[in-house]
């Protein structure tokens, strides 16, 4: 096979050169579009199911939520393992499939089972699937420092939740943006139980009235003059005064309003954790990418979006700062490889020129480096591989063996050509035949 390939290459030298140049150009084009990541995706297809359950204890979460969901997921085709974590008010289930299962097919099967499980779970408990991500999926962390003298933690958290997070989620390749820290604004109704007892109003009445606040309802249809009209009750509002004036019940023809029996305010929700940056309170956003996204390209898109949003920051708010950037590790690895390539090429060129004494064989030996690297890009594309620290390390190691093989082949050809010139003209071989024989002599070292 090797001899056939060698003979045909030497017999069609121009075609080989043209084909090599075309493949190198296509390889260079492909290389610029190859996904870049820290590590290859070594995780089997995994679907995460998250369930919030209010104030349930860990034992209740395990018995009423985790165990029924685990039992249901175990029957899915292709499932290799089901692991779970149950804590106070929270359940995590990790359903791992075998390598042959496509992740979107796995999520579809899990979604179908979750739909069938809704009636078997406690009231108001809704299991949800987590985004498609991986262990190394968090590519960036952003911190918004809070200067409490200029702006409140509640305003910063609102900006992170309703402005910054939706803008980042709109970038293709982002799987999830998780904010922590600050204060989450909410309506708070603090009942005056003494006043409620005087008016004969129970907590259940108040809860039912507040639960129905700020909602639009339909009253059916009205047919008039051959046309049909929708009857609607428009009650949706976000005004605090509207909530204060909510009618709970009536006494002697007079409505009893919510503000008469409770204090109604905007206040921060109960915090279970906090965040800080450089000794100050802060809101921190963790950004996770989808497994197939290019980390470097995605990071640059995020940074461009952050720069764009700096122009419209609210008064008193500090600009978001990047506290963790996974792309920096990748760029450092690529920079190291580029330095090694340049250094190795210069060093090898100097050594070859010193020992071989001519420029032509030196250039021939060095040509193997770009040809092989650009061909490798085509192999990456065919097998769906990415550029990461492991593949870059393999390339860096392979370059040494690659140049060594080229030097062995070129040096042996030069030696045989020199020996052939010393022979009588009648005993000399044709140069093409001689190159083929010289290459076959060292094929074991090359292969």
Return all residues near 53 (Cβ < 8 A) that are at least 6 apart. 60, 61, 64, 65, 89, 90, 91, 122, 125
For all residues of the chain together, what is the average pLDDT?
85
Residue 63: closest CA among 86, 83, 82, 81: 86
Q: What is the pLDDT of residue 282?
A: 93
Q: What is the pLDDT of residue 444?
A: 65
What is the number of domains present in the chain?
3
- State the Rg of the chain over Cα: 35
> For 153-181, what is each residue's pLDDT tens digit?
999 999 999 999 999 999 998 988 999 99
CATH (domain of 224): 3.30.2090.10
Q: 79-87 and 128-129: which strand pairing?
A: unpaired
Residue 71 lies in a domain: yes
Q: CB–CB of 314/155 below 8 Å?
A: yes
Range of the domain at 366: 2-35+329-446
The residue from 253, 268, 283 where one domain ends is 268
Compute the average pLDDT of residues 378-403.
80
Residue 209: closest CA among 196, 221, 219: 196
Residue 303 lies in a domain: no
**Residue 31 shares a structural domain with residue 58:** no
> For 46-101, what is each residue's pLDDT tens digit?
899 999 887 788 899 999 999 999 988 888 898 999 999 998 889 999 999 998 88
**Residue 418 shares a structural domain with residue 358:** yes
> For 292-302, what is each residue's pLDDT tens digit?
788 889 999 99
CATH (domain of 418): 1.20.1640.10
Residue 127 lies in a domain: yes
**Residue 366 shares a structural domain with residue 333:** yes
- Alpha carbons 395 and 341: distance in angstroms, whole number: 10
Residue 176 lies in a domain: no
**Residue 128 shares a structural domain with residue 205:** no
Stated pTM of the model: 0.74
- Alpha carbons 377 and 368: distance in angstroms, whole number: 14
- Alpha carbons 275 and 153: distance in angstroms, whole number: 11
Residue 358 lies in a domain: yes
Residue 288 lies in a domain: no
The residue from 132, 162, 195 where one domain ends is 132
Residue 388 lies in a domain: yes
**Residue 56 shares a structural domain with residue 13:** no
**Residue 358 shares a structural domain with residue 436:** yes
On the question of pLDDT at 404 being above 80, the answer is no
Cα–Cα distances in Å, from 163 out to 107, 155, 308? 29, 11, 13
**Residue 204 shares a structural domain with residue 263:** yes
**Residue 352 shares a structural domain with residue 442:** yes
**Residue 352 shares a structural domain with residue 436:** yes
């Amino acid at each position: 096979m090797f001899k056939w390939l060698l003979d045909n290459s030497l017999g069609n030298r121009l075609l080989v050169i043209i084909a090599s140049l075309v493949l190198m150009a296509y390889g260079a084009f492909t290389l610029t579009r190859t996904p870049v990541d820290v590590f290859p995706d070594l995780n089997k297809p995994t679907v995460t199911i998250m369930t919030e359950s209010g104030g349930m204890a860990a034992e209740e979460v395990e018995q009423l939520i985790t165990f029924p969901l685990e039992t249901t997921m175990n029957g899915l085709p292709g499932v290799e393992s089901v692991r779970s974590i149950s804590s106070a008010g929270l359940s995590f289930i990790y359903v791992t499939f075998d390598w042959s299962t496509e992740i979107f097919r796995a999520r579809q099967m899990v979604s179908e089972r979750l739909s069938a499980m809704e009636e078997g779970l406690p009231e108001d408990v809704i299991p949800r699937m987590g985004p498609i991500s991986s262990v190394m999926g968090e590519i960036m962390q952003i911190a918004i420092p809070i200067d409490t003298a200029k702006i409140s933690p509640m305003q910063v958290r609102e900006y992170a939740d309703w402005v910054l997070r939706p803008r980042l989620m709109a970038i293709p390749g982002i799987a999830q943006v998780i904010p922590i820290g600050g204060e989450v604004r909410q309506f708070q109704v603090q009942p005056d139980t003494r006043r409620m007892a005087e008016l004969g109003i129970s907590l259940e009445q108040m809860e039912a009235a507040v639960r129905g606040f700020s909602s639009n309802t339909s009253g059916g249809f009205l047919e008039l003059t051959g046309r049909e009209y929708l009857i609607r009750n428009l009650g949706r509002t976000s005004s605090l005064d509207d909530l204060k004036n909510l009618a709970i019940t009536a006494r002697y023809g007079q409505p009893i309003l919510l503000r008469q029996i409770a204090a109604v305010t905007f206040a921060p929700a109960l915090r279970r954790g906090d965040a800080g940056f450089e000794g100050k309170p802060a809101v921190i956003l963790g950004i996770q990418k989808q497994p197939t996204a290019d980390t470097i390209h995605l990071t640059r898109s995020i940074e461009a979006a952050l720069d764009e949003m700096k122009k419209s920051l609210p008064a008193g708010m500090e600009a978001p700062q990047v506290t963790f950037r996974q792309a920096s590790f990748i760029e450092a690895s690529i920079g190291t490889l580029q330095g090694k390539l340049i250094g190795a090429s210069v060093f090898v060129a100097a050594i070859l020129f010193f020992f071989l004494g001519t420029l032509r064989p030196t250039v021939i030996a060095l040509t193997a480096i770009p040809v092989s690297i650009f061909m490798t890009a085509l192999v990456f594309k065919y097998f769906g591989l990415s550029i990461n620290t492991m593949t870059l390390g393999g390339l860096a190691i392979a370059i040494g063996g690659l140049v060594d093989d080229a030097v062995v082949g070129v040096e042996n050809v030069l030696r045989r050509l020199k020996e052939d010139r010393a022979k009588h003209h009648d005993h000399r071989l044709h140069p093409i035949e001689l190159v083929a024989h010289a290459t076959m002599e060292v094929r074991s070292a090359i292969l």
